[in-house]
Structure 1
């Protein structure tokens, strides 16, 4: 398992990260614990969760359950120090957590304390803001994105307020590093600028959606990542399962995410299946498993810190972990580039 720097923190993270957003809904606690065991045995050292997890669906009754399942594993095994633990603070607009309250110095300390209690740990290695208070163009909002209603002074004042609160948490030993999620290049640049001016925690990573099907990160954010040592933690590197091919031809396998979320968070579109076909054909021509190809491709990106993949079942996890043995040659990469040009932004 290849290891990559986590920003300038001195920590290193595995090229694959175990995502946990199904822990407590689609994935039972027993299977979740088996997944953590299996991932660590394979060399994965990064586990990502969030206070709002599990999903499918997100509900007030299940908020925090994924963290609690991980906490029970920590308590049962005593292996908390064997891996890097990342979690996230939900923000404005999610009514089931704090009635949709924005992220601020008022919310940061109690939210971290809640996560620490559920995770049954004294510290969080990477603490991430799940999305910016001002909104985000992620999750298909890019099609109608309009930042003209933002208030720059309020945004910057809130960032400083949050950074000061994060510093207090670092000083207490509750968190080791700070990351962003669903952020933009401008937003990340401001967090970096303010943290460097004030000596507050520096952004170590950005967790945004990225896959063969979703490549918005490839331009401004890619440049920022490389120049500022802020690596991408890519979520949905398999396009919520689309890149496995299991939904082609109108198929909806029993127990799959599409049975719970038919639109796949806006990824179900008239154009996406043709794009998936193009990538499946490349994999077939070169004797590659499509899951392995999609994850191995993430590894080739110059800004990648870790690709976060979730597995509903232990069998799916075992299969995905085998991707680290796959290296894509120049011909495959050229064909992937051609498919991307032919099928840009399919959702």
Structure 2
């Protein structure tokens, strides 16, 4: 009887050993997969872009592609590796749903893009900045009218906005990209929310403004909260433009992962007519693939401040001339193809993500 017990014990040991060995091997395999996924996350994201995004992205972008009416654009060269710097005027409009009027540009950002280094410079210009609106002469005195920068879009759409910003910044704008705030709300909801650094509640208290309150410390904020975050202005126009830059960085972080990348075609469907650009679909797709292969882009931000004043009962913002000139010098440096990463001029006031 003792012999039978001993045999039973000896027969049970190999099974336990095999189970332990299988578990050990499984753990090693899982560890290797996890480490490999981390080390090769760029390659995996690029594969996801090629497999799930590229086949449909260009066709989706065709709906948003709107060449400018003011002049015939040169065909945009589609090459595997974009090297030359270029500029884009980013416009966020306040057009309400079902409104025929254009609305105004609530957000105006001059972006200098250096695709070879995956770097972007965002120069934010407050919408109330007092500027000469290029091509708008309402009293027909032969001089372009002075008005708020945001009104350029209402008077003449992207063309007039681009011409006005070119005149102000003394640098050419190559392309535009316009998004309606409804599009921002829908896009944020589509990616499951966005991370925003809100450490105290944000609340509209002015009785003339839309009532809302954004709670602090949430892990993710939904589309409506994100829209209110970028539009809140009861503290200052300067802080408002900084929030817009923070939001753009946060959305870029959200999209530049495998889950976010695969949702881009869906986002374009959701945004629909709320997003327009004169960058050709193949050009955008090529830039996206290049950015993924090179790693997350570095975004440097600068906001042109100013001093508020009233004229005929209306509030305007007079741009600080020193900061305006400083921004012009930075743009010249960033758009110069001979500028190296070592000689790239970074803003004194910057947020690099």
- Common fold, TM-score beyond 0.5? no
- The one of the two structures with greater contact order (alpha-carbon pairs below 8 A, sep at least 6) is 2
Q: TM-score, normalised by structure 2?
A: 0.26
Q: TM-score, normalised by structure 1?
A: 0.27
Larger Rg, first or second structure (1 or 2): 2
